[in-house]
Chains A and B, each alone.
Chain A
């Protein structure tokens, strides 16, 4: 093949490679592509929470996968962001338990407070409201949301104010 893995050379730092290699080592030698999810997370974490096309290509080349296969993976999972995001990501559960406990009103409140709709980022680049979030398995504390991977349950508008205002 004439295509060389230039993307991998430029994008993946030695530290990132070492980390990806740790994941690759967990799988049989001919199943390197099993490390695609952690590899994408490593790239995303290194790039302020989102993936550039170059990252996808780099991961594909590094793991010896067809590039389009990595695009498929990155597009499939809601946890990967292919556009720039804010410093904080907020996922508000809108599945049935939370909905019955007022998630819709809560979403409307947050959207109004931040002046953005779900799927958008505040103009100051502080917060991204993730498009939609199905059940996060915390029905016992509905309504709930996820802020940068941390669960906040039994939400009320006051509690939301407090949480959002504390984000730098």
Chain B
């Protein structure tokens, strides 16, 4: 087996008179931490490299009866058999006090105006080790502040040069955006010239900073640590299921910080997890239920709104139930999806779906019970080889990207097959091909694998492969997947949105099977697994039992417009595969009922009843992550306005409609009911293979969803929308194609798909010939059409 499971050798050391067994080669501080013996520190962090620069963790060490002549830093002193460590002997304490006195020489005494006050490692340790009077009467050094962007506030004069932030951005974030410039007392943490910190994980340096040099900018001065209460919750922005702790004051969330869970997010969270919640307090919040009567909107009480909604739903479904379609956000809770599914089915329809950005549904009947990653998240960092198909993990699931980055740093071979070149923060092979040829490219990998393994391929795969030419990289990917003990083939959101997504899934599964690797899918949204399991799909009831007669899936519901729609936390013009068609379907519907935390002009135009439901923070619920892990959370914040938890609104609406099975008293009861239906879940297994799409002769549009555009909450997070990642949709086109049309960088272009929009041209040679990349889920591209498809481009 691998080195990881090798028995670790133990040595015996004595810390403060207590004997303990610790792994050979580990540092003294790891032993003391494990034994919960407090050793003060600033620069040491268990997830970062050791620099031993702050010297705060000095301890007295004795080896073979001989005391070390000087105190040693616990973080950089490896344990040895028979070592004796004294963490609080007079000598150790004197050394720690000495270091503290030096650290405080230049540190300002501005705790009363410092946002870190009350949760400051320096403040805490100064209380324990500091003197009450400073002997330093010279001038303290001061620094100008750095502008690190909209998320991180700086007060560099407070910096004690632990370099945790520098090391984090280099070692974990993968972008060396900060450095320690200058020498001695002139040392300064800075970006030097480049403006700001842009890592999608940047907020973690706020937590890492042991002083008030780097603090949370949007949260700045809005509360004191000791006033806040904390509740555990789960990130609603991606399928990782990141564990969060939400800090709130008087019912309002003030900030979000990581909750350590080594199996999922370790001690990190993405900026989207941390700053996304600001969207909850958007000015667009819907405070009261509203109904439209004779073209006029008016605020009404809940009863009126629900009665109006129930009557309209009854009217339409009583004679033609199949005319009702329900679109639910993949970020809705399992409980909400379950009750909505029950409601839709109770009204006689089966048209419900959460797979709003999926392009191809042809294999849905053959799939397992939910989209599964194929292995636990933590295993990703030990992959020896991986093939990612249509995946931009940095935008879709930053914490999975982090795991893959670790795999790459450990020597793993990571391959991407994508219709555009990504800006990666680790070493990987990127195979960039036009979107329509992706199935062929995969078939060629499968062919190479079959040859390697002496297996035969289904005729359809051979046929697909025949349309392309085998290159070295196909064989190389095949060989690496086959030779690795631990390999994964992963399907990302771009592949899921691909019009031949089922083929990509089938080929990915085939490749994984041939190579002895695991196949996995990284679903869009936070709770696609919950959606599948709770019946928010048109072809499976809650629990996974197949529908005799499947209803319409998300795409079909919009392509064959319904007379009535229920939208559950969905903005069709941003959240759907074909925003233009979705918008049009809403406009032409007789009745649109929107369960929504927000209200926009667009919603006022197409909806008839608006019901204010709480966001993830205002309701109890459960997300099922891509490992199939059920994580329940309670409500954190008080609902905004008259908003109510969605499950309760659905329950009451179910009662008003006279449907059976809507008697739940709590979210937990709903949860128990779904859980009982589901029982033991089983991982997905994709099988069906469809014919490939053929490439046309014109330009082909490819879309992906930018990191801060994926859902209604994150789109309204002001801090995130101020970052460099939030850019208006542009037309990304390679220089040769641009030259052929006569387009220059920065000019306006007229792009026609099913609709027509003007977009700024961005020359980008990461886009293959014949492809244009136009991000979706942004207002500029909303009127254009599906995420994939042929477009014409002209000078504007």
Binding site for B on A (CB under 8 A): 1-2, 53, 66-69, 71-72, 75-78
Contact = CB atoms under 8 A, between A and B. Distances in A.
Contacts of B179: 68-69, 71-72
B182 A68 contact: no
Contacts of A72: 179-181
Interface hub of B177, B180, B424, B766 (most chain A Cβ within 10 A): B180
Contact of A76 (B170, B182, B191): B182
Contacts of A68: 176-179, 181, 191-192, 194
B423 interface: yes
27 contacts: A1-B423, A1-B424, A2-B423, A2-B766, A66-B170, A66-B175, A66-B176, A67-B192, A68-B176, A68-B178, A68-B179, A68-B181, A68-B191, A68-B192, A69-B176, A71-B181, A71-B192, A71-B193, A72-B179, A72-B180, A72-B181, A75-B181, A75-B182, A75-B192, A76-B181, A76-B182, A77-B183
Contacts of A78: 183
Interface string B181-192: 111000000011
A147 to B, nearest CB: 24
A134 to B, nearest CB: 11
A76 B183 contact: yes
Contact of A53 (B178, B183, B193): B193
Contacts of A75: 181-183, 192
A15 B310 CA distance: 81
A51 to B, nearest CB: 13
A72 B181 CA distance: 4
A77 B194 CA distance: 21
Interface of B: 170, 175-183, 191-194, 423-424, 766
A78 B766 CA distance: 41
B147 to A, nearest CB: 15
| Chain A interface main SS type | helix
Contacts of A76: 181-183
B177 to A, nearest CB: 7
Contacts of B175: 66
Contacts of A53: 193
B181 A67 contact: no
Contacts of B424: 1
A85 to B, nearest CB: 18
> Interface of chain B, helix or strand or loop or mixed?
loop
A71 B178 CA distance: 10
Given A53-B193, A71-B181, 19 more contacts: A1-B423, A1-B424, A2-B766, A66-B175, A66-B176, A67-B194, A68-B176, A68-B177, A68-B181, A68-B194, A69-B176, A69-B179, A71-B179, A71-B192, A72-B179, A76-B181, A76-B183, A77-B183, A78-B183
Contacts of B180: 72
Contacts of A1: 423-424
Nearest to A60: B176
Contacts of B191: 68
A66 B170 CA distance: 9
A66 B171 CA distance: 12
A72 B180 CA distance: 6
A13 to B, nearest CB: 24
Contacts of A71: 179, 181, 192-193
Nearest to A66: B176
A67 B178 CA distance: 10
A68 B424 CA distance: 18
Nearest to A77: B183
A14 B170 CA distance: 31
A147 B176 CA distance: 37
Contacts of A69: 176, 179
A68 to B, nearest CB: 4
Nearest to A1: B423
A1 B175 CA distance: 11
Nearest to A67: B194
A53 B194 CA distance: 11
Nearest to A76: B183
Contacts of B182: 75-76
A68 B146 CA distance: 14
| Pairs of residues from A and B, 7 with the lowest C-beta to C-beta distance, nearest first | A66-B176, A68-B179, A71-B192, A75-B181, A72-B179, A76-B183, A75-B182
B97 to A, nearest CB: 29
A161 B619 CA distance: 83
B422 to A, nearest CB: 10
A53 B191 CA distance: 13
A68 B175 CA distance: 10
Nearest to B188: A75
B181 to A, nearest CB: 4
B359 to A, nearest CB: 27
A68 B181 CA distance: 9
Most chain B CB inside 10 Å of its own CB: which residue of A2, A67, A68, A77 = A68
B180 to A, nearest CB: 6
A27 B177 CA distance: 26
Contacts of B193: 53, 71
Contacts of B183: 75-78
Instruction: Pick from B170, B179, B183 the residue with the most CB of A within 10 Å.
Output: B179
Contacts of A66: 170, 175-176
Contacts of B181: 68, 71-72, 75-76
Max count, chain A CB within 10 A of own CB: residue among B178, B181, B423: B181
A67 B194 CA distance: 9
A88 B8 CA distance: 60
A76 B186 CA distance: 9
A68 B197 CA distance: 12
Nearest to B425: A1
A71 B180 CA distance: 9
Contacts of B192: 67-68, 71, 75
Contacts of B766: 2
Contacts of B194: 67-68
B455 to A, nearest CB: 38
Nearest to A74: B181
Nearest to B170: A66
A75 B177 CA distance: 16
A75 B179 CA distance: 11
A1 B178 CA distance: 18
A53 B192 CA distance: 10
A71 B177 CA distance: 11
A47 B675 CA distance: 72
A72 B191 CA distance: 10
A71 B573 CA distance: 46
Nearest to A65: B176
A50 B181 CA distance: 17
B598 to A, nearest CB: 34
Nearest to A75: B181
Nearest to B183: A76
A67 B181 CA distance: 12
A144 to B, nearest CB: 23
Nearest to B177: A68
A19 to B, nearest CB: 26
| Most chain B CB inside 10 Å of its own CB: which residue of A2, A72, A76 | A72
A75 B182 CA distance: 5
A67 B183 CA distance: 18
Contacts of B170: 66
A57 B192 CA distance: 12
A69 to B, nearest CB: 6
A53 B181 CA distance: 14
B149 to A, nearest CB: 15
A79 to B, nearest CB: 12
**Could you say which of A66, A67, A75 has the most chain B C-beta atoms within 10 Å of its C-beta?**
A75
A68 B180 CA distance: 9
Contacts of B176: 66, 68-69
A161 B193 CA distance: 41
A72 B187 CA distance: 9
A53 B423 CA distance: 25
Nearest to B179: A68
Instruction: Tell which of B178, B193, B424 has the most Cβ of chain A within 10 Å.
Output: B193
A106 to B, nearest CB: 24
